[in-house]
Amino acid sequence: MSLCAITRALPGTAVERLGRVHEVRLWPGEMPPSSDELVALAHDADALIALVTDTVDAAVFDACPRLRAVANYAVGFDNIAVAEAAARGIAVGNTPDVLTDATADLAFALLAAAARQIAQADRYVREGRWRTWSPQLFLGKPLKGARLGIVGPGRIGRGVADRAEGYGMDVTVFDQGDPAGTFERLLAESDFVSLHCPLTPETRHIIDEGTLALMKPDAILVNTARGGLVDLVAVAAALGEGRLGGAALDVTDPEPLPLDHPILTAPHLTLAPHIGSATRQAREAMADLAVDNILAALAGCAMPHPVAVA
């Protein structure tokens, strides 16, 4: 019997299934463990199920010499030192496919909410400022016929494209392998830009002061991928100065945002607390895939959902 450390309680019955085969050590808190707490949790573990809030790097591997497998409870894995794990013979897996529809739904919901200023209208009503119907109150952007630029043609990006096409939107997709100038042209021509690429050194702050300047002044930015793709200070300034029509963000950098962050006072902003995959069905399926990865690795088999080393 091996020992698997898990950094937070997971929905569903997958952890119980793992516990019938191996010993499970579960972090008891609602907040993520600190670096020292993570090491204390997993120092003698054979396997680790980590969340996107957990940094699993060389220091963790040094302090946890028995680790043979890490399963990330997410599709993205920028929080895991994958190359370092591979060099040490540690298998790393993720949870693809099962959260595609949930995240694509949330991305399109944010897009539509930003287009029609739903969050702002809700706040307007709750604050008692609604006095009468007005022909000029909360004038938004139509979706039909608008151009949506999708950055990243992965499963979630394609899912958003399918939803957008159902609304009659004109969809353009950018891949990092596309010819030079394609990304800049997409930004300049799009009424909405939705980010779905992984966070890498090359994509960090792919949206910054320079790329924001290329966008239409009434364009809307949507991000449900990783917060580090966007320079939030630059977005806050663009919104405040009327150089960007709106932003809808499910992810930020940092997470959570400090209450004095300038983005929180920016106009035309819709925020969510990183809930892209937050349906019960998706989160339970993610737990199943993470446990499947651990069970396979501890049995000496290849993970069914491995992360490839770039």
The half-sphere exposure of 43 on its side-chain side, counting CA atoms within 13 A, is 7
The encoded tokens of residue 263 equal: 């983005």
Contact 290, 95 (CB under 8 A): yes
Q: Is the dihedral of CA 127, 269, 251, 96 positive or negative?
A: positive
The encoded tokens of residue 117 equal: 């200023």
The residues that bridge with 230 in the sheet, in sequence order, are 207
Q: Is the dihedral of CA 270, 273, 274, 275 positive or negative?
A: negative
Measure the CA–CA gap between 31 and 279, rounded to whole angstroms.
20
Q: Which residues contact 175 (CB under 8 A, 6 or more apart)?
A: 152, 153
Measure the CA–CA gap between 81 and 92, rounded to whole angstroms.
9
Catalytic positions are: 226, 255, 274
CA-CA distances (angstroms) from residue 215 to 46, 183, 190?
A: 48, 11, 7
Measure the CA–CA gap between 199 and 220, rounded to whole angstroms.
21
